[in-house]
Amino acid sequence: MGLKDKLHKLKLKYKNKKIAPAFNAIHTFLYLPNETTHSGAHVRGADDLKRTMNTVIMALVPCLIFGMFNAGYQHHLAAGEIKAVTNGFFSSGFWSLDNLTVGLWKVLPLVIISYGVGLAVEVLFAVIKKHEVEEGYLVTGMLVPLIVPVDTPLWMLAVAVIFGVVIGKEVFGGTGMNILNPALTIRAFLFFAYPTWMSGDKVWVHGAVERANEIAGGAELDAMSGETVLGALAQGKELTYSVSDMFLGFIPGSVGETSAILILLAGLFLIFTKIGSWRIMVSAVLGALVMGLIFNGVVSAEWINEGSKFYSLMSTEFWHHLIIGGFAFGVVFMATDPVTASQTNKGKWIYGFLIGFISILIRVFNPAYPEGVMLAILLMNVFAPTIDHYVVQGNIKKRMKRLKLKTA
């Protein structure tokens, strides 16, 4: 008797028991369901929720692997142990075992805690509410480690995951019913509950916080930088990274958000598989470019002087905003969440444009938090149903007018 048959027998044995959802989840995750539809008026397709989620995870894996190497690379670079890469993706100085070792040591525990705690909460709610374990957390569990600083304490991440799953999803009824993106809800909780661990000029590089504490304690150690491109620009510093470094991802930042080229390829993959909405992605980029052009125009017109705390980010080339910070990652993987985004085609254009527009607005006018995509997406999650409502009402009015003209 194979493992599949054994699990199926356990499902039948504990069918009416409280623990049944746990067995069902394991069986469903590993195998195709035994029950299939053979007749009747049903929509048949090769995909289901689990396979849709797995497709998104496949798009995230390259970002995860690159993030592991980059975590080690940024650590060794800041410590002065290696020199900056010059050959891009073909540099052996980046794809080294030393970099991967540090990355695995720091990033893998984040992934394990994210999935372990999140799925435990999912199973607990399934047992209490007596329903199947939902697959929605498969993607959220991968997103969370990729949008946090590399040195985020594991206990802190566990607390945030519990909050995000319970408050961000389960209280609304579970997968498909939530109005806020669960991964961003977790990130927002971390930012507001533990701000010193989510922002600043040290948290983005492994070891920088410890080195700063040792220096503050009187130890004779060299300083270790760990600020992001946005953090430096928000403080009025000059850009020290090349466009190539920013596009390829050889910069400090959250684990999976640095490589714009990998995120771009992932976005194309999601569009090709018809999982991600190209309308939301394109409109968000347009919104960001428009806001960036407006700020560049303000600087060109000399309506703001160089001494202003907003000048540095305002004067940043408008298209640079697309390849720095978490904008690209947020637009591709979280703004396109089919549950929390707008559902109508026209609504998707409005929804995406406002996300891009507001992201750059917050990025420039809030130097204390020079990253606006998280707040912009959460804000538009709340307004997505309203946007769809007015789009639908507008369509109804147009049809009523056409009907009146025909009957007149």
Tell me what pLDDT residue 15 has.
58
* From 127-141, 256-270, 316-330, the region with the lowest mean pLDDT: 127-141
How confident is the model over 239-250, as pLDDT tens digits?
Answer: 788 899 999 999
CA–CA separation, 239 vs 168, rounded Å? 37
CB count within 10 Å of CB 202 equals: 25
Q: Stretch 157-177: mean pLDDT, rounded?
A: 87
CA atoms within 13 A on the CB side of 90: 1
Question: Crossing angle, helix 49-78 and helix 97-129, to 10 degrees?
Answer: 140
pLDDT over threshold 80, residue 367: no
Tell me what pLDDT residue 234 has.
80
**Pair 207, 214: CB distance under 8 Å:** no
Q: Stretch 186-199: mean pLDDT, rounded?
A: 90
CA–CA separation, 133 vs 174, rounded Å? 10
pLDDT over threshold 70, residue 217: no
Residues 6+ apart with CB under 8 A from 74: 204, 205, 206, 226, 251, 252
pLDDT over threshold 60, residue 208: yes
Tell me what pLDDT residue 336 has.
94
* From 92-101, 171-180, 353-362, the region with the lowest mean pLDDT: 171-180
Tell me what pLDDT residue 18 has.
60
When pLDDT is cut at 50, 70 and 90, the band that residue 14 belongs to is low
When pLDDT is cut at 50, 70 and 90, the band that residue 252 belongs to is very high
Tell me what pLDDT residue 20 has.
59
Highest mean pLDDT, choosing among 25-29, 106-110, 234-238: 106-110
When pLDDT is cut at 50, 70 and 90, the band that residue 408 belongs to is low
DSSP secondary structure of 307-367: TSTTHHHHSS-GGGGGTSTTHHHIIIIITT-TTTS--SHHHHHHHHHHHHHHHHHHHHH-T
Angle at 325 between CA 268 and CA 116, to 5 degrees: 75
Q: What is the mean pLDDT of the chain?
A: 84
Question: Crossing angle, helix 345-365 and helix 373-407, to 10 degrees?
Answer: 150
**Pair 5, 18: CB distance under 8 Å:** no
**Tokens found for residue 277:** 């909405």
CA–CA separation, 83 vs 94, rounded Å? 10
